[in-house]
Amino acid sequence: MNVHKLSEAFQAWMTTVAEAMLAALGSLRSPRRVCMVEEEVGCLRVEAGADGAGERVRLRDGEFVDAVPARLAAALKRSGVELRLAPGRFVFRPLELPARAIEFLDGIVRAQIDRLTPWSATDAVYGWTPPRPIEKDRIGVTVAASARALMAPYVQAFTQLGAPAVVLAVPSGSELQPDTITVLEHRPRGTLDVRQLRRVLKAMLIAAGLAALVAVAADQWVGADLDAQQQEIARRVAERRSALRRDGAGAAPGQQLLERRKQQMAASVMVIDALSAILPDHTYVTELRVEGDRLQIVGMTQDAPSLIRLMEQSPHFTRATFFAPTTRAPGEAGERFHIEARLNAVFTRT
Protein backbone atom coordinates (compact mmCIF):
# COMPACT_ATOMS: atom_id res chain seq x y z
CA MET A 1 0.00 0.00 0.00
CA ASN A 2 1.54 3.34 -1.06
CA VAL A 3 1.59 6.58 0.91
CA HIS A 4 -1.32 8.06 -1.06
CA LYS A 5 -3.65 5.17 -0.22
CA LEU A 6 -2.59 5.27 3.42
CA SER A 7 -3.39 8.99 3.52
CA GLU A 8 -6.84 8.39 1.97
CA ALA A 9 -7.60 5.64 4.48
CA PHE A 10 -6.53 7.88 7.37
CA GLN A 11 -8.71 10.76 6.11
CA ALA A 12 -11.72 8.43 5.76
CA TRP A 13 -11.20 7.13 9.28
CA MET A 14 -10.93 10.63 10.75
CA THR A 15 -14.11 11.67 8.90
CA THR A 16 -16.00 8.69 10.32
CA VAL A 17 -14.87 9.51 13.86
CA ALA A 18 -15.81 13.19 13.46
CA GLU A 19 -19.28 12.34 12.11
CA ALA A 20 -19.90 9.94 15.00
CA MET A 21 -18.86 12.58 17.57
CA LEU A 22 -21.08 15.24 15.96
CA ALA A 23 -24.02 12.83 15.93
CA ALA A 24 -23.49 12.07 19.63
CA LEU A 25 -23.23 15.76 20.54
CA GLY A 26 -26.32 16.59 18.50
CA SER A 27 -28.40 13.92 20.23
CA LEU A 28 -27.43 15.31 23.63
CA ARG A 29 -28.03 19.02 23.13
CA SER A 30 -30.38 19.53 20.17
CA PRO A 31 -33.95 20.70 21.04
CA ARG A 32 -36.95 19.23 19.26
CA ARG A 33 -36.84 20.16 15.58
CA VAL A 34 -39.69 21.82 13.71
CA CYS A 35 -41.31 19.17 11.51
CA MET A 36 -42.46 20.22 8.03
CA VAL A 37 -44.32 17.91 5.64
CA GLU A 38 -44.37 18.29 1.87
CA GLU A 39 -47.98 18.64 0.68
CA GLU A 40 -47.10 19.20 -2.97
CA VAL A 41 -44.01 20.04 -4.99
CA GLY A 42 -42.33 23.03 -3.35
CA CYS A 43 -45.00 23.47 -0.64
CA LEU A 44 -44.23 22.60 2.99
CA ARG A 45 -46.60 22.69 5.99
CA VAL A 46 -45.58 22.91 9.65
CA GLU A 47 -47.00 19.99 11.62
CA ALA A 48 -49.06 20.45 14.78
CA GLY A 49 -47.21 20.77 18.08
CA ALA A 50 -44.49 23.14 16.80
CA ASP A 51 -44.14 26.92 16.71
CA GLY A 52 -46.01 28.17 13.67
CA ALA A 53 -48.13 25.01 13.41
CA GLY A 54 -50.20 25.05 10.24
CA GLU A 55 -47.99 27.65 8.52
CA ARG A 56 -47.04 26.95 4.93
CA VAL A 57 -43.95 28.00 2.99
CA ARG A 58 -43.20 27.67 -0.71
CA LEU A 59 -39.82 27.06 -2.28
CA ARG A 60 -38.58 27.70 -5.80
CA ASP A 61 -35.00 27.15 -7.01
CA GLY A 62 -33.61 26.90 -3.48
CA GLU A 63 -35.28 30.08 -2.18
CA PHE A 64 -38.48 30.92 -0.31
CA VAL A 65 -41.17 32.40 -2.55
CA ASP A 66 -42.55 34.56 0.30
CA ALA A 67 -40.96 35.82 3.51
CA VAL A 68 -40.98 33.26 6.30
CA PRO A 69 -43.11 34.43 9.31
CA ALA A 70 -40.91 35.82 12.09
CA ARG A 71 -42.11 33.34 14.71
CA LEU A 72 -41.47 30.37 12.44
CA ALA A 73 -38.06 31.70 11.33
CA ALA A 74 -36.97 32.07 14.97
CA ALA A 75 -38.09 28.53 15.78
CA LEU A 76 -36.25 27.16 12.74
CA LYS A 77 -32.99 28.93 13.64
CA ARG A 78 -33.27 27.76 17.25
CA SER A 79 -34.27 24.14 16.71
CA GLY A 80 -33.63 23.26 13.07
CA VAL A 81 -36.09 21.58 10.73
CA GLU A 82 -37.11 18.04 9.80
CA LEU A 83 -38.22 17.88 6.17
CA ARG A 84 -40.54 14.95 5.53
CA LEU A 85 -40.68 14.90 1.76
CA ALA A 86 -43.14 12.93 -0.35
CA PRO A 87 -42.38 9.19 -0.65
CA GLY A 88 -42.32 9.54 -4.44
CA ARG A 89 -39.06 11.46 -4.21
CA PHE A 90 -37.25 8.39 -2.84
CA VAL A 91 -36.43 4.86 -3.91
CA PHE A 92 -37.10 2.28 -1.18
CA ARG A 93 -35.33 -1.06 -1.37
CA PRO A 94 -35.33 -3.96 1.16
CA LEU A 95 -31.94 -5.44 2.00
CA GLU A 96 -31.38 -8.77 3.77
CA LEU A 97 -28.04 -9.43 5.49
CA PRO A 98 -26.40 -11.82 7.97
CA ALA A 99 -26.87 -10.77 11.60
CA ARG A 100 -23.12 -10.30 12.02
CA ALA A 101 -23.18 -7.55 9.38
CA ILE A 102 -24.95 -5.14 11.78
CA GLU A 103 -21.59 -3.66 12.83
CA PHE A 104 -20.67 -2.83 9.23
CA LEU A 105 -24.00 -1.55 7.89
CA ASP A 106 -22.60 1.83 6.82
CA GLY A 107 -19.96 0.36 4.54
CA ILE A 108 -22.23 -2.41 3.25
CA VAL A 109 -25.08 -0.05 2.30
CA ARG A 110 -22.66 2.40 0.67
CA ALA A 111 -21.17 -0.40 -1.44
CA GLN A 112 -24.68 -1.55 -2.50
CA ILE A 113 -26.15 1.88 -3.43
CA ASP A 114 -25.24 1.71 -7.13
CA ARG A 115 -26.85 -1.75 -7.29
CA LEU A 116 -30.01 -0.85 -5.34
CA THR A 117 -30.62 2.61 -6.89
CA PRO A 118 -30.01 4.47 -10.18
CA TRP A 119 -27.30 6.63 -8.52
CA SER A 120 -23.76 6.12 -7.28
CA ALA A 121 -22.91 6.60 -3.62
CA THR A 122 -21.43 10.07 -4.31
CA ASP A 123 -24.49 11.27 -6.27
CA ALA A 124 -27.09 9.95 -3.81
CA VAL A 125 -28.32 10.71 -0.32
CA TYR A 126 -29.48 7.63 1.54
CA GLY A 127 -30.30 6.06 4.88
CA TRP A 128 -31.86 2.93 6.31
CA THR A 129 -34.26 1.73 8.97
CA PRO A 130 -33.04 0.10 12.21
CA PRO A 131 -32.16 -3.57 11.60
CA ARG A 132 -34.96 -6.01 12.38
CA PRO A 133 -34.57 -9.80 12.82
CA ILE A 134 -36.33 -11.77 10.09
CA GLU A 135 -35.12 -15.29 10.80
CA LYS A 136 -32.29 -17.11 12.54
CA ASP A 137 -28.99 -15.26 12.02
CA ARG A 138 -30.55 -12.88 9.45
CA ILE A 139 -31.59 -9.21 9.64
CA GLY A 140 -33.45 -6.92 7.28
CA VAL A 141 -33.29 -3.17 6.64
CA THR A 142 -35.13 -0.86 4.27
CA VAL A 143 -32.85 1.51 2.36
CA ALA A 144 -34.21 4.87 1.19
CA ALA A 145 -32.27 6.91 -1.38
CA SER A 146 -32.68 9.92 -3.64
CA ALA A 147 -30.55 12.10 -5.91
CA ARG A 148 -28.42 14.61 -4.02
CA ALA A 149 -29.26 17.26 -6.62
CA LEU A 150 -33.00 16.77 -5.95
CA MET A 151 -32.56 17.44 -2.21
CA ALA A 152 -30.15 20.38 -2.62
CA PRO A 153 -32.78 23.15 -3.19
CA TYR A 154 -34.63 22.28 0.03
CA VAL A 155 -31.47 22.16 2.13
CA GLN A 156 -30.13 25.34 0.52
CA ALA A 157 -33.19 27.41 1.42
CA PHE A 158 -33.14 26.50 5.12
CA THR A 159 -29.35 26.76 5.35
CA GLN A 160 -29.51 30.34 4.08
CA LEU A 161 -32.12 31.00 6.76
CA GLY A 162 -29.61 29.74 9.37
CA ALA A 163 -31.51 26.56 10.26
CA PRO A 164 -29.93 23.08 10.38
CA ALA A 165 -31.94 20.83 8.06
CA VAL A 166 -32.58 17.09 8.22
CA VAL A 167 -34.29 15.35 5.31
CA LEU A 168 -36.46 12.35 6.25
CA ALA A 169 -38.01 9.72 4.01
CA VAL A 170 -41.25 8.06 5.12
CA PRO A 171 -42.34 4.91 3.25
CA SER A 172 -45.85 5.03 1.81
CA GLY A 173 -48.59 4.05 4.28
CA SER A 174 -46.31 4.43 7.33
CA GLU A 175 -47.28 6.89 10.05
CA LEU A 176 -45.03 5.63 12.84
CA GLN A 177 -41.91 7.50 13.88
CA PRO A 178 -39.64 4.41 13.80
CA ASP A 179 -40.33 4.10 10.06
CA THR A 180 -38.79 7.48 9.23
CA ILE A 181 -35.37 7.26 7.59
CA THR A 182 -32.80 10.05 7.83
CA VAL A 183 -31.19 10.46 4.39
CA LEU A 184 -29.45 13.83 4.75
CA GLU A 185 -28.38 16.21 7.54
CA HIS A 186 -26.91 19.64 6.84
CA ARG A 187 -25.70 22.39 9.18
CA PRO A 188 -25.29 26.07 8.26
CA ARG A 189 -21.95 27.82 8.36
CA GLY A 190 -20.78 28.92 11.77
CA THR A 191 -21.67 25.62 13.46
CA LEU A 192 -19.15 22.91 14.22
CA ASP A 193 -18.87 20.72 11.13
CA VAL A 194 -17.02 17.56 10.21
CA ARG A 195 -14.02 19.33 8.70
CA GLN A 196 -13.47 21.55 11.73
CA LEU A 197 -13.78 18.65 14.12
CA ARG A 198 -11.47 16.58 11.92
CA ARG A 199 -8.78 19.28 12.15
CA VAL A 200 -9.12 19.29 15.95
CA LEU A 201 -8.82 15.52 16.07
CA LYS A 202 -5.69 15.64 13.88
CA ALA A 203 -4.08 18.19 16.20
CA MET A 204 -4.90 16.00 19.20
CA LEU A 205 -3.47 12.95 17.45
CA ILE A 206 -0.23 14.80 16.61
CA ALA A 207 0.07 16.00 20.21
CA ALA A 208 -0.46 12.45 21.46
CA GLY A 209 2.22 11.19 19.06
CA LEU A 210 4.74 13.78 20.29
CA ALA A 211 3.95 12.85 23.89
CA ALA A 212 4.51 9.19 23.04
CA LEU A 213 7.91 10.00 21.48
CA VAL A 214 8.94 11.88 24.62
CA ALA A 215 7.81 8.95 26.78
CA VAL A 216 9.79 6.46 24.64
CA ALA A 217 12.92 8.61 24.88
CA ALA A 218 12.55 8.86 28.65
CA ASP A 219 12.01 5.11 28.90
CA GLN A 220 15.19 4.42 26.91
CA TRP A 221 17.19 6.79 29.09
CA VAL A 222 15.87 5.59 32.45
CA GLY A 223 15.43 1.97 31.39
CA ALA A 224 19.16 1.27 31.04
CA ASP A 225 19.78 2.16 34.68
CA LEU A 226 16.77 0.12 35.83
CA ASP A 227 17.96 -2.93 33.86
CA ALA A 228 21.35 -2.76 35.55
CA GLN A 229 19.71 -2.58 38.96
CA GLN A 230 17.42 -5.50 38.13
CA GLN A 231 20.35 -7.65 37.02
CA GLU A 232 22.21 -6.89 40.24
CA ILE A 233 19.17 -7.85 42.33
CA ALA A 234 18.75 -11.08 40.36
CA ARG A 235 22.42 -11.94 40.94
CA ARG A 236 22.11 -11.39 44.68
CA VAL A 237 18.93 -13.51 44.85
CA ALA A 238 20.69 -16.35 43.00
CA GLU A 239 23.64 -16.18 45.37
CA ARG A 240 21.34 -16.25 48.39
CA ARG A 241 19.42 -19.28 47.09
CA SER A 242 22.66 -21.12 46.43
CA ALA A 243 23.81 -20.37 49.97
CA LEU A 244 20.53 -21.63 51.43
CA ARG A 245 20.82 -24.90 49.50
CA ARG A 246 24.37 -25.41 50.77
CA ASP A 247 23.26 -24.72 54.33
CA GLY A 248 20.44 -27.23 53.99
CA ALA A 249 22.74 -30.03 52.83
CA GLY A 250 23.80 -30.80 56.40
CA ALA A 251 20.35 -30.38 57.95
CA ALA A 252 18.45 -33.03 59.89
CA PRO A 253 16.72 -35.85 57.92
CA GLY A 254 13.26 -34.40 58.61
CA GLN A 255 14.28 -30.98 57.34
CA GLN A 256 15.92 -32.53 54.28
CA LEU A 257 12.66 -34.38 53.54
CA LEU A 258 10.71 -31.15 53.74
CA GLU A 259 13.21 -29.39 51.49
CA ARG A 260 13.03 -32.23 48.96
CA ARG A 261 9.24 -32.18 48.89
CA LYS A 262 9.26 -28.42 48.47
CA GLN A 263 11.59 -28.74 45.49
CA GLN A 264 9.60 -31.56 43.86
CA MET A 265 6.03 -30.29 44.35
CA ALA A 266 4.59 -27.67 41.98
CA ALA A 267 3.90 -24.31 43.61
CA SER A 268 0.29 -23.19 43.37
CA VAL A 269 1.41 -19.84 41.98
CA MET A 270 3.25 -21.59 39.14
CA VAL A 271 0.19 -23.76 38.40
CA ILE A 272 -2.11 -20.72 38.32
CA ASP A 273 0.32 -18.90 36.03
CA ALA A 274 0.42 -21.87 33.62
CA LEU A 275 -3.40 -22.13 33.61
CA SER A 276 -3.88 -18.41 32.94
CA ALA A 277 -1.61 -18.75 29.91
CA ILE A 278 -3.67 -21.49 28.22
CA LEU A 279 -7.29 -20.93 29.30
CA PRO A 280 -9.35 -18.75 26.89
CA ASP A 281 -10.90 -15.41 27.94
CA HIS A 282 -14.41 -16.87 28.25
CA THR A 283 -13.30 -19.40 30.90
CA TYR A 284 -13.42 -18.70 34.64
CA VAL A 285 -11.93 -20.98 37.35
CA THR A 286 -13.89 -20.93 40.61
CA GLU A 287 -12.07 -23.78 42.45
CA LEU A 288 -8.47 -25.04 42.19
CA ARG A 289 -6.92 -27.90 44.19
CA VAL A 290 -3.34 -29.22 43.98
CA GLU A 291 -2.63 -32.52 45.76
CA GLY A 292 0.82 -33.90 45.02
CA ASP A 293 1.07 -34.19 41.23
CA ARG A 294 -2.71 -34.04 40.75
CA LEU A 295 -4.62 -30.88 39.80
CA GLN A 296 -8.39 -30.38 39.93
CA ILE A 297 -10.15 -27.27 38.62
CA VAL A 298 -13.84 -26.31 38.58
CA GLY A 299 -15.30 -23.33 36.73
CA MET A 300 -17.46 -21.89 33.92
CA THR A 301 -16.69 -21.85 30.19
CA GLN A 302 -18.34 -21.56 26.78
CA ASP A 303 -16.67 -24.71 25.37
CA ALA A 304 -15.71 -27.31 27.96
CA PRO A 305 -14.34 -30.04 25.57
CA SER A 306 -11.78 -27.61 24.14
CA LEU A 307 -10.20 -27.17 27.59
CA ILE A 308 -9.08 -30.81 27.60
CA ARG A 309 -7.25 -30.29 24.30
CA LEU A 310 -5.62 -27.05 25.50
CA MET A 311 -4.34 -28.66 28.70
CA GLU A 312 -3.02 -31.73 26.84
CA GLN A 313 -1.08 -29.46 24.48
CA SER A 314 0.58 -27.66 27.40
CA PRO A 315 3.97 -28.98 28.61
CA HIS A 316 2.79 -28.48 32.20
CA PHE A 317 -0.17 -30.91 32.25
CA THR A 318 -0.98 -34.43 31.09
CA ARG A 319 -3.81 -37.00 31.32
CA ALA A 320 -6.48 -34.27 31.45
CA THR A 321 -10.02 -35.62 31.90
CA PHE A 322 -13.42 -34.73 33.35
CA PHE A 323 -13.88 -36.10 36.89
CA ALA A 324 -17.55 -34.97 37.03
CA PRO A 325 -20.27 -34.31 34.43
CA THR A 326 -20.31 -30.98 32.58
CA THR A 327 -23.60 -29.17 33.31
CA ARG A 328 -25.43 -26.05 32.21
CA ALA A 329 -27.88 -24.61 34.77
CA PRO A 330 -30.80 -22.32 33.80
CA GLY A 331 -29.73 -18.70 33.89
CA GLU A 332 -26.01 -19.48 33.57
CA ALA A 333 -24.17 -18.13 30.53
CA GLY A 334 -21.86 -21.12 30.08
CA GLU A 335 -21.07 -24.71 31.09
CA ARG A 336 -19.83 -25.75 34.55
CA PHE A 337 -16.83 -28.07 34.12
CA HIS A 338 -14.80 -30.33 36.47
CA ILE A 339 -11.35 -31.24 35.08
CA GLU A 340 -8.55 -33.29 36.60
CA ALA A 341 -4.97 -33.46 35.24
CA ARG A 342 -1.50 -34.59 36.22
CA LEU A 343 1.29 -32.05 36.77
CA ASN A 344 4.42 -32.62 34.71
CA ALA A 345 7.94 -32.52 36.07
CA VAL A 346 8.52 -29.25 34.22
CA PHE A 347 7.24 -27.53 37.40
CA THR A 348 10.09 -28.98 39.47
CA ARG A 349 12.51 -26.35 40.77
CA THR A 350 16.22 -26.69 40.14
Integer Cα distance of 212 and 266 in angstroms: 41
Residues 187 and 276 reside in one and the same domain: no
Residue 138 lies in a domain: yes
Q: Mean pLDDT in the chain?
A: 80
pLDDT digits (tens, 9 = 90+) for 204-214: 888 888 888 88
Integer Cα distance of 339 and 120 in angstroms: 58
Residues 304 and 186 reside in one and the same domain: no
Residues 23 and 141 reside in one and the same domain: yes
Q: Which of 140, 173, 197 is the last residue of a domain?
A: 197
CB atoms within 10 A of CB 239: 10
Integer Cα distance of 193 and 187 in angstroms: 7
Residues 188 and 314 reside in one and the same domain: no
Residue 238 lies in a domain: no
Q: Please report, in angstroms and rounded to a whole number, the separation of the first and last CA atoms in the chain.
A: 51
What does the pLDDT read at residue 315? 87
Across the chain, the runs of DSSP E, i.e. the strands, are 34-40, 43-46, 56-60, 63-64, 81-85, 91-98, 124-128, 132-135, 138-147, 165-169, 181-186, 284-291, 294-301, 317-322, 335-343
Q: How far is CA 185 from the centre of its chain?
A: 23
Residues 193 and 269 reside in one and the same domain: no
Bridge-partner residues for 44, per DSSP? 38, 57
What does the pLDDT read at residue 186? 77
Residues 178 and 88 reside in one and the same domain: yes
Bridge-partner residues for 141, per DSSP? 95
Residue 43 lies in a domain: yes
Residues 185 and 301 reside in one and the same domain: no
Q: Which of 157, 182, 197 is the last residue of a domain?
A: 197
Residue 9 lies in a domain: no
What does the pLDDT read at residue 346? 57
pLDDT digits (tens, 9 = 90+) for 163-188: 888 999 988 765 444 578 999 887 65
Integer Cα distance of 279 and 212 in angstroms: 33
What does the pLDDT read at residue 144? 93
Low-confidence ranges of the chain (pLDDT < 70): 1-12, 14, 18-19, 22-31, 48-52, 173-178, 187-198, 247-267, 345-350
Q: What is the CATH number of the domain that holds 137?
A: 3.30.420
Fill in the DSSP letter of residue 325: -
Residues 286 and 173 reside in one and the same domain: no
Residue 221 lies in a domain: no
Number of domains the chain contains: 2
What does the pLDDT read at residue 255? 59
What does the pLDDT read at residue 188? 57
Integer Cα distance of 110 and 15 in angstroms: 15
What does the pLDDT read at residue 270? 80
Residue 12 lies in a domain: no
Residues 28 and 147 reside in one and the same domain: yes
Residues 190 and 302 reside in one and the same domain: no
What does the pLDDT read at residue 1? 52
Q: What is the CATH number of the domain that holds 341?
A: 3.30.1360.100
Biggest distance spanned by C-alpha atoms of the chain: 109
> Sign (positive/negative) of CA torsion 28, 31, 36, 37?
positive
**Among 40, 65, 61, which residue's Cα sits nearest to residue 150?**
61
Burial (Cβ within 10 Å: 0-12, 13-18, ≥19) of residue 203: exposed
Residue 1 lies in a domain: no
What does the pLDDT read at residue 176? 42
Q: Which domain holds residue 169?
A: 17-197
What does the pLDDT read at residue 136? 80
Residues 179 and 308 reside in one and the same domain: no
Q: Which of 157, 174, 197 is the last residue of a domain?
A: 197
Confirm if 304 and 284 have CB atoms less than 8 A apart: no
**Among 162, 159, 168, 160, which residue's Cα sits nearest to residue 186?**
159
Residue 192 lies in a domain: yes
Residues 33 and 178 reside in one and the same domain: yes
